[in-house]
Structure 1
């Protein structure tokens, strides 16, 4: 399957002075060259920037286009992969203020709240605008109206895999909080009307979530992992009414999970794992949990923090 790869800067709101840098690798139909309906969408949220590094591994894995290509290699050639950087950086610190309404000046969350569904609404809008620009580039001056071509092997709507790397894990926490308060039945009824490349509403997006990957998540404050029992209980109950389940995978390294100066990271991760395991007993196996430590026994360093992107097992 042919692919289009590129990096675009997207303005989320008309009067916004900031731009989101989004890298993508998109599946194309064979002929004519249009976007194909993917088997799934993998969406990766980046963390803070590393400034002035001479380490070639960190440099390569800080490149959003490289990360998009890695996602395709892991999730399969029929997926669409998106890598999203924050629109605001305070020095090296990523600030996702459009996704998380209450953050510090360094982008650390003060709370997670579903009110207004900021993360899901912003994500749908951001990727919708990205796809509109990408289609213009792909089709060029072609006058034929855009039509997505679905693979004959696709029998269901594309599912969404969400990956949060480092501080990008805070977006997963916000999206899970919004999922807990979403309208599943409304999303499923709407979803059956037609195929899509990306969900076109926040409820469709939230209902399409099939995988959550925490990728070496950590913060300099509390809030790296979701620890709200009410939210997890709501998600567990919601899954009993939803057609598809959710796999939650925890990928970690000694740099985050074994950091004695930030012991809350390991404690929060363990709390979330326990909450999910308890919830899994109540929804007929629709919650699956995997936990993997990479580079065990090695001295924690910054390279392993980025190298996990390359070696993580998403199965």
Structure 2
């Protein structure tokens, strides 16, 4: 599969004074030099910057281009990978203020609320602006963001996989909160994600490279990966029972199946100085497991522990990205 890859510097809104750096690896049609509609979009939210470590492993796994390549290697060549950095950094601390309005100056959330759906709306805006930027880059040619759909790998609206690494997990918490309070809309009457469309549906629904609305984004999410998330304060994992109850009800009302995977290392889950991380992880896992029987077997949850026999280190915190088991 031919691909276009690069690192973009993109504003969230036309008048924004801040920019997000986004590493992208996108399916490309070699015949027409247009973007092809993928089977899924994998969106990876980065954490704080690890500056001045002098560690080549950490440096390599902090590179947005390299991270986008790793994401493609995990999910397959028919997906698009988007690796997103925060637009604001306070020293090394990522501040996702556009996605989580309640964050403090260090990017730590005070709370997660669905009002205004800021994370899903910001994700849609950012990816749309990325596509516009790609139009200007690919040989100066027009990129058609809804054509190029072939029977070989475009069956329906692309799925969405969401990954949050380290502090990037706070964006996942906000998205999951918004998911719990979102309407299913027409999704309940549409073909399942990844299933062939009948003629009637294909004529009435436009297929896009990325979702065009926050509802489209939220209804397309099929996997949520927490990748060694952690904070210096509470809020690394979502522990709001009401949100998970609402998600379970959405699934029973016709939303597509949803899978959570919590990936961790001793760096976060065995940190005695920040014991709340493990406590929050265990609580979130228990809440998800308690809702699984109520979801009609459509909610799945797994926890995977890496480097269990090694002492905590910053290097393993980054190395988990490369050995991530998404099966």
TM surpasses 0.5: yes
- Classify the secondary structure of the residue corresponding to 1:207: helix
User: Contact 1:160–1:211 at 8 Å: present in 2 too?
Assistant: yes
User: Contact 2:35–2:143 at 8 Å: present in 1 too?
Assistant: no
User: Contact 2:39–2:155 at 8 Å: present in 1 too?
Assistant: no
Structure 1, unaligned runs of 5 or more? none
Q: Does 1:89 align with 2:89?
A: yes
Matches within 5 A, 1:126-145: 126-140=126-140, 142=141
Classify 1:149/1:188 alpha carbon distance in 2 versus 1 (closer, same or farther; 3 Å).
farther
Q: Aligned equivalents of 1:243 and 1:120: distance in 2?
A: 17
Classify 1:201/1:145 alpha carbon distance in 2 versus 1 (closer, same or farther; 3 Å).
closer
Q: Aligned equivalents of 1:278 and 1:25: distance in 2?
A: 37
Q: Aligned equivalents of 2:270 and 2:276: distance in 1?
A: 10
Classify 1:243/1:182 alpha carbon distance in 2 versus 1 (closer, same or farther; 3 Å).
closer
Deviation (angstroms), 1:250: 0.7
Can you list the C-alpha shifts for 1:285-312, whole angstroms capped at 9, x where unaligned? 1111111100012110000000000001
Can you list the C-alpha shifts for 1:46-80, whole angstroms capped at 9, x where unaligned? 00001112111000000011000000001000000
Runs of 4+ deviating beyond 4 Å? 143-147, 186-192
- Which residue of structure 2 lines up, in the alignment, with residue 234 of structure 1? 246
Classify 1:147/1:109 alpha carbon distance in 2 versus 1 (closer, same or farther; 3 Å).
closer
- Which residue of structure 2 lines up, in the alignment, with residue 150 of structure 1? 149
Can you list the C-alpha shifts for 1:91-116, whole angstroms capped at 9, x where unaligned? 00000000001011000000000000
Q: TM-score, normalised by structure 2?
A: 0.93
Deviation (angstroms), 1:186: 4.2
- Classify the secondary structure of the residue corresponding to 2:167: helix
Classify 1:208/1:146 alpha carbon distance in 2 versus 1 (closer, same or farther; 3 Å).
closer
Classify 1:190/1:139 alpha carbon distance in 2 versus 1 (closer, same or farther; 3 Å).
farther
Q: Does 1:16 align with 2:28?
A: no
- Classify the secondary structure of the residue corresponding to 2:12: coil
Q: Aligned equivalents of 1:147 and 1:92: distance in 2?
A: 38
Classify 1:144/1:174 alpha carbon distance in 2 versus 1 (closer, same or farther; 3 Å).
closer
- Which residue of structure 2 lines up, in the alignment, with residue 298 of structure 1? 310
- Which residue of structure 2 lines up, in the alignment, with residue 121 of structure 1? 121
Q: TM-score, normalised by structure 1?
A: 0.96
Q: Aligned equivalents of 2:135 and 2:326: distance in 1?
A: 29
Structure 2, unaligned runs of 5 or more? 192-200
Q: Aligned equivalents of 2:83 and 2:98: distance in 1?
A: 16
- Which residue of structure 2 lines up, in the alignment, with residue 247 of structure 1? 259
- Which residue of structure 2 lines up, in the alignment, with residue 173 of structure 1? 173
Q: Aligned equivalents of 1:280 and 1:180: distance in 2?
A: 15
- Which residue of structure 1 lines up, in the alignment, with residue 36 of structure 2? 36
User: Contact 1:188–1:207 at 8 Å: present in 2 too?
Assistant: no
Q: Tell me how large the CA RMSD over aligned residues is.
A: 1.6
Classify 1:13/1:51 alpha carbon distance in 2 versus 1 (closer, same or farther; 3 Å).
same
Matches within 5 A, 1:265-276: 265-276=277-288
Task: Find the partner of 1:258 among 270, 287, 298.
Answer: 270
Q: Aligned equivalents of 1:190 and 1:128: distance in 2?
A: 23
Q: Aligned equivalents of 1:267 and 1:256: distance in 2?
A: 11
Aligned residues: 314
Q: Aligned equivalents of 1:201 and 1:75: distance in 2?
A: 24
Deviation (angstroms), 1:229: 0.2
Q: Aligned equivalents of 1:15 and 1:49: distance in 2?
A: 26
Q: Aligned equivalents of 1:274 and 1:126: distance in 2?
A: 33
